[in-house]
Amino acid sequence: MYREIKYRVWDKIDKKMLTVRALLFDKLNNNKLITILADSEDNKFTKAFTNEKYSYEHKDIITVPFENCSRLMQFTGLIDENGVEIYDGDIIDMGYGKFEVKIGEFYAYLSSLGKYYIMGVYFKDEDGVDVPLENNKGLIVGNIFEDKEENE
């Protein structure tokens, strides 16, 4: 199964979601992530989130510290009922509650196999049970960062 690999980040200063254009790594320093280049939704500006040791000089790019962006949020390869792409960290309304979408290992249960770990896209329901997320299910209603902003 093919899934497009793409990311986004939350800009903590401008309080907007940005689309990641490129990830730059330092090959001489264990391939450490050194810069995230991210575009605004309207493509009016690009920001380079980086640390003080590295600088990204370009007339059309705003350089800001790493601390000003969230963790990377990866595209899950799934879409909601309205065709909206689902990312790690999105809040999805399943009709019986709103839950944070996660990518990673989670417990699954099959009557024939019992409880086992699986890697994939899931959410924890109101009882704390890991529930695999299916394509074209639920509605994206926000993300963990917008939700935090509204509750502060």
- Domains in the chain, start-ordered, CATH in brackets? 7-68 (no CATH), 75-151 (2.30.30.290)
3-state SS assignment for residue 48: strand
Residue numbers of the chain with a pLDDT score lower than 70: 1-2, 52-57, 109-111, 113-114, 147-152
Task: State both tokens at 132.
Answer: 């695999």
Nearest to 94 by CA among 123, 66, 63, 119: 123
Query: 136-147 pLDDT, tens per residue?
Result: 999 999 999 986
Write the DSSP symbol of residue 69: B
Query: 72-98 pLDDT, tens per residue?
Result: 999 999 999 999 999 999 999 999 999
What's the first-to-final CA gap in the chain, in angstroms?
40
Task: State both tokens at 136.
Answer: 């074209």
120 φ, ψ (degrees, to nearest 5): 170, -155
Residue with tokens 């990866």: 74
**Residues 13, 140, 20, 72, CA torsion sign:** positive
Q: From the CB of residue 32, how many other CB atoms can be counted at a distance below 10 Å?
A: 12
| Average pLDDT of every residue of the chain | 85
